[in-house]
């Protein structure tokens, strides 16, 4: 719609380029109000304010300027209807055409006919007035409508304005409230109209509204809206301020303030909680991460990204495991992620092995839990991974150690500080015969024997309880009572504070070694003894040899002297023969023992009837025995009378001769008995005498070489101490054994066996 000015008067504005007195006076006569302005002073705003009904462009030769003014008037929405009449002269024949094109209403050439000119002007003014009135009517109608809608709008705005919980205000450039809704007034503890025309300083304590002023001033200077968060008193407000152009073209500001104290507090506490949570997850020594439903990391704590070999979270965010791991570990982990997300499945404590960025293998115990929203949809997953590489390595070491202990050939015992057994290895059971139930919980003294000096245990405990290592040998007792030797190393086990928590004993059975040692000692003693005996033997032997030799030489010299009778000579010869036999016996014994020791004695076994051997030895000894006044008794049971022995005849005779010779030598009265009986597959011969007997502690010794019972008798009766040693060896070479029963002063019985078939 074309705009109109408020009033229209019979006013004509003349823009002249030359004096227009002629037309002014004509118009004045017709009672028109005339405003004359220079053509150069044309200003649309001034023309609008002049409220004229017609414009006359009075010109000479400056038609171009006139035409331009006409165009500007036509183009102005408020002036377009205003009739423009050109009055003047032009050398352009087509001027009229161009004047009408420029929007002109009429062209009056100079000199003009006054009447015609006035009539034309009158007509244009009338037309204009009619148009004006018509437009005014339409306008009024529209204004009424607009006014109603404006009122409705205004009411709505007021309702909105006053009921808003947000504070709203409009301030003047003097920062005085021009408008303030109820919430704004309430801020000051006042009614809306009490606030109007007041400044913040007049309404509230300065401290309470301190930051407002600077943001108000900023709003006055700025061109666009801005939002600030201000702390006013103990509350926090979010305020949007914007510049306003007020009615009187003055600057002002508008604002909306919202109390966001609670929101801020919630935000702050959420922020603090989030920060706390983040600090927590960042400082946990486990990897914690969150992935979206495309398996991409959206949260990664410090442990997580550092374990992956990165230095910041941003380097891993947005990436899947396929991108974070170079090898197939990534695929495995990615597939797990997919399973958790696609199937809403939880993976708990899965052991994963992967190579980290340093190229080292690491073990992780991973749990992945799906994140499910309120609609039951999986939105991602949260993962927790604990590095168990050290634990794995420790476990492996423990496994190795425990196998080492379990399979150790030594006995290993672990006790508590008071010696109560907590652990024993399988070797312990094997060595001691105890079962686990019988020893666990028992004191380690369960093995203690009474064979040890109590001081050893005292020293042991003193050493280990002061943290030292005790090494030594213990004579312990097995479950079955058997004693055994152990070489033990016992030491304490300490915790990280250096406190003793346990003792460990590592022990080796050294019974065999001990036995060997004992045997070696005996052998050594025997060797020494043998050496001693040898010396004694040599001394004795020189005596034993010299005696018969002296005898032989002495009697031979006597014989040679020839001063003796037949009887005496016979006696001398008997002495010489006896001594020669004794010498021969000694030499035979020495030869025999040498052969035996060299293993050169050969046994030729034949079947010998018992009666034959008994008869032969009776022939050898009966006379000698009985001539000493001793009774010889031969005692053969019926069962053995017809038996045979399987032996070397000469050697068997030698055995009998030695035993009977000794019996005769050490018996002075009573009986010497030769008996034979069956003993399994063997025959057992017994030669008993009623002689001086042998003390039990000498029973074993007398079978040793050069050994003689150290009595006055043995010295008295001579002998070389080889007889029984030879006898024993011969019996054993023939497959039998020899032993004796004897008591001092109560006679002796020598038994020996010979295979019978």
Q: Point out which residues bind ligand ADP (CB under 6 A).
A: 658, 662-663, 666, 689, 691-692, 694, 702, 708-709, 714, 719-724, 748
Q: Are 435 and 454 in contact (CB under 8 A)?
A: no
Q: What is the DSSP letter of 655?
A: H
Please, what is the minimum distance in Å from the beta carbon of residue 596 to ligand ADP?
13
Closest distance to ligand ADP from the beta carbon of 720 (Å): 5
Smallest separation (angstroms) from ligand ADP to the CB of 728: 9
Least distance in angstroms from the C-beta of 694 to ligand ADP = 5
CB of residue 747 vs ligand ADP: minimum separation in angstroms?
8
Q: Of 73 and 625, which CB lies nearer to ligand ADP in the complex structure? A: 625
Residue (88 or 721) nearer to ligand ADP, CB: 721
Helical segments of 204-248, H only: 206-209, 212-221
b/e code 667-704 from CB counts within 10 Å (16+ = b):
beeeebbbbbbeeeebbbbbbbbbbbbbeeebeebbbb
Taking the complex as a whole, the smallest distance from the CB of residue 592 to ligand ADP amounts, in Å, to 12
Query: Between 472 and 661, whose beta carbon lies closer to ligand ADP?
Result: 661
Query: Would you say 323 or 745 has its CB closer to ligand ADP?
Result: 745
For residue 611, the minimal CB distance to ligand ADP (Å) is 24
Helices then strands (H, E): number in the chain? Answer: 25, 27
Q: Whose CA is closest to 610, among 571, 579, 637?
A: 637
How far CA 47 is from CA of 78, 205, 555, 694, in Å, comes to: 10, 53, 199, 174
Q: What are phi and psi of 34, to 5 degrees?
A: -115, 130
Minimal CB distance residue for ligand ADP: 719
- For 742, counting Cβ atoms within 10 Å of its Cβ (0-12 exposed, 13-18 middle, 19+ buried), the class is buried
Crossing angle for the helix pair 723-733 and 566-598, to the nearest 10 degrees: 50
The residues, any chain, with a CB within 8 Å of residue 728's CB and separated by 6 or more, are 703, 738
Q: How far is the CB of 586 from ligand ADP (least distance, A)?
A: 9
Minimal distance in Å, beta carbon 725 to ligand ADP?
6
The residue (of 123 and 624) whose beta carbon lies closer to ligand ADP is 624
Q: Let me know: does 750 contact 687? Beta carbons within 8 Å.
A: yes
- Can you give the three-state secondary structure of 27-93, one letter per residue? HHHCCCEEEEEEHHHCCHHHHHHHCCCEEEEEEECCHHHHHHHHHHHHHCCCCCCCCEEEEEECCCC
**Between 17 and 658, CB nearer to ligand ADP:** 658
Backbone phi, psi, residue 201, to 5°: -60, -30
The nearest distance, CB 430 to ligand ADP, in angstroms, is 47
- Residue (381 or 692) nearer to ligand ADP, CB: 692
Closest to ligand ADP by CB, 303 or 654: 654
Answer for the pair 467, 492: CB distance below 8 angstroms, yes or no. yes
Q: For the purposes of burial, counting CB atoms within 10 Å of the CB of 712, is it exposed (0-12), middle (13-18) or buried (19 or more)?
A: exposed
- Kindly tell me which of 83 and 691 has the beta carbon lying closer to ligand ADP: 691
What SS3 string covers 356-411?
CCCCCEEEEEEEEEEEECCCCCEEEEEEEEEECHHHHHHHHHHHHHHHHHHCCCCE
Q: How far is the CB of 552 from ligand ADP (least distance, A)?
A: 20
Question: Which residue, 660 or 683, has its beta carbon nearer to ligand ADP?
Answer: 660
Q: Give 10's DSSP letter.
A: S
- DSSP string across 264-296: HHHHHHHHHHHHHHHHHHHHSSSEEEEEETTS-
Using the 8-state DSSP alphabet, how is residue 18 labeled? Answer: S
CB of 490 or CB of 738, closer to ligand ADP: 738
For residue 692, the minimal CB distance to ligand ADP (Å) is 5
For residues 215 and 729, which CB has a smaller minimum distance to ligand ADP in the complex?
729
C-beta of residue 645 within 8 angstroms of C-beta of residue 610? yes
Name every residue whose Cβ is closer than 8 Å to that of residue 538 and which is 6 or more positions away in sequence: none
Q: Which helix (H) or strand (E) holds 489?
A: strand 483-494
Task: List Cβ neighbours of 259 (8 Å cut-off, separation of 6 or more).
Answer: 167, 235, 236, 237
Residue 390 or 669 with smaller CB distance to ligand ADP:
669
Question: Smallest gap, in angstroms, from Cβ of residue 672 to ligand ADP?
Answer: 9
């Amino acid at each position: 719609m074309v705009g109109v000015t408020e009033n229209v008067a019979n006013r004509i504005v003349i823009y002249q380029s030359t004096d227009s007195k002629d037309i002014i006076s004509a118009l004045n006569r017709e009672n028109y109000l005339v405003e004359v302005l220079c053509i150069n002073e044309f200003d649309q705003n001034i023309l609008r304010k002049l409220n004229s009904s017609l414009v006359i462009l009075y010109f000479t030769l400056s038609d171009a300027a006139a035409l331009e003014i006409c165009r500007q008037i036509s183009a102005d929405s408020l002036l377009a209807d205003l009739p423009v009449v050109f009055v003047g002269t032009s050398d352009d024949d087509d001027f009229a055409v161009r004047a009408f094109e420029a929007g002109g209403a009429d062209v009056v050439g100079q000199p003009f006919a006054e009447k015609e000119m006035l009539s034309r002007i009158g007509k244009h003014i009338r037309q204009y007035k009619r148009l004006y009135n018509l437009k005014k009517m339409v306008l009024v109608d529209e204004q009424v409508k607009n006014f109603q809608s404006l009122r409705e709008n205004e009411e709505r705005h007021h309702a909105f304005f006053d009921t808003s919980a947000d504070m709203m205000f409009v301030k003047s450039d003097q920062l005085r409230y021009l408008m303030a809704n109820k919430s704004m007034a309430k801020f000051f503890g006042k009614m809306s109209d009490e606030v109007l025309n007041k400044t913040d300083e007049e309404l509230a304590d300065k401290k309470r509204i301190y930051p407002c002023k600077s943001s108000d001033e900023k709003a006055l200077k700025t061109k666009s809206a801005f939002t600030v968060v201000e702390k006013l008193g103990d509350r926090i407000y979010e305020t949007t301020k914007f510049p306003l152009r007020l009615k009187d073209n003055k600057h002002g500001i508008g604002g909306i303030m919202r109390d966001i104290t609670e929101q801020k507090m919630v935000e702050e506490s959420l922020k603090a909680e989030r920060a706390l949570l983040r600090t927590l997850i960042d400082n946990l020594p486990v990897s914690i991460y969150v992935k979206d439903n495309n398996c991409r990391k959206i949260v990664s704590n410090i442990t997580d990204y550092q374990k992956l070999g990165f230095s910041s979270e941003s380097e891993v965010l947005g990436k899947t495991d396929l991108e974070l791991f170079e090898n197939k570990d990534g695929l495995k982990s990615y597939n797990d992620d997919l399973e958790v997300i696609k199937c809403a499945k939880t993976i708990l404590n899965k052991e994963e092995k992967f190579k980290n960025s340093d190229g080292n293998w690491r073990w992780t115990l991973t749990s992945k839990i799906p994140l499910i929203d309120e609609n039951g949809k999986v939105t991602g997953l949260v993962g927790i991974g604990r590095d168990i590489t050290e634990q794995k390595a420790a476990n492996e070491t423990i496994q190795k150690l425990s196998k080492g202990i379990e399979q150790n050939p030594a006995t290993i015992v672990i006790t508590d500080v008071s010696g109560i057994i907590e652990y024993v290895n399988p070797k312990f059971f094997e060595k001691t015969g105890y079962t686990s139930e019988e020893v666990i919980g028992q004191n380690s003294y369960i093995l203690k024997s009474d064979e040890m000096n109590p001081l050893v245990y005292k020293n042991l405990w003193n050493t280990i309880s002061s943290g030292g290592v005790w090494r030594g040998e213990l004579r312990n007792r097995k479950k079955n009572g058997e004693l055994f030797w152990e070489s033990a190393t016992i030491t304490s086990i300490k915790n990280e504070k250096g406190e003793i928590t346990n003792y460990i004993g590592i022990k080796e059975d050294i019974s065999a070694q001990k036995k060997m040692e004992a045997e070696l000692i005996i052998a050594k003693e025997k060797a020494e003894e043998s050496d001693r005996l040898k010396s004694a033997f040599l001394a004795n032997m020189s005596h034993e040899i010299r005696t018969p030799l002296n005898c032989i030489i002495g009697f031979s010299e006597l014989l040679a002297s020839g001063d003796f009778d037949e009887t005496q000579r016979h006696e001398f010869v008997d002495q010489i023969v006896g001594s020669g036999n004794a010498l021969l016996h000694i030499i035979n014994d020495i030869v025999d023992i040498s052969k035996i020791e060299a293993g050169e004695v050969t046994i030729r076994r034949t079947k010998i009837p018992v009666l034959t051997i008994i008869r032969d030895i009776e022939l050898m000894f009966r006379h000698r025995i009985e001539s000493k006044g001793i009774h010889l008794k031969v005692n053969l049971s019926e069962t053995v009378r017809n038996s045979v022995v399987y032996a070397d005849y000469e050697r068997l005779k030698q055995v009998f001769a030695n035993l009977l010779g000794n019996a005769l030598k050490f018996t002075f009265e009573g009986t010497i008995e030769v008996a034979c009986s069956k003993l399994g597959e063997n025959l057992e011969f017994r030669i008993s005498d009623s002689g001086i007997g042998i003390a039990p502690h000498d029973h074993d010794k007398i079978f040793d070489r050069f050994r003689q019972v150290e009595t006055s008798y043995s010295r008295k009766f001579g002998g070389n101490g080889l007889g029984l040693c030879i006898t024993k060896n011969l019996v054993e070479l023939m497959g039998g054994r020899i032993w004796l029963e004897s008591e001092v002063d109560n006679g002796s019985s020598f038994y020996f066996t010979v295979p019978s078939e």
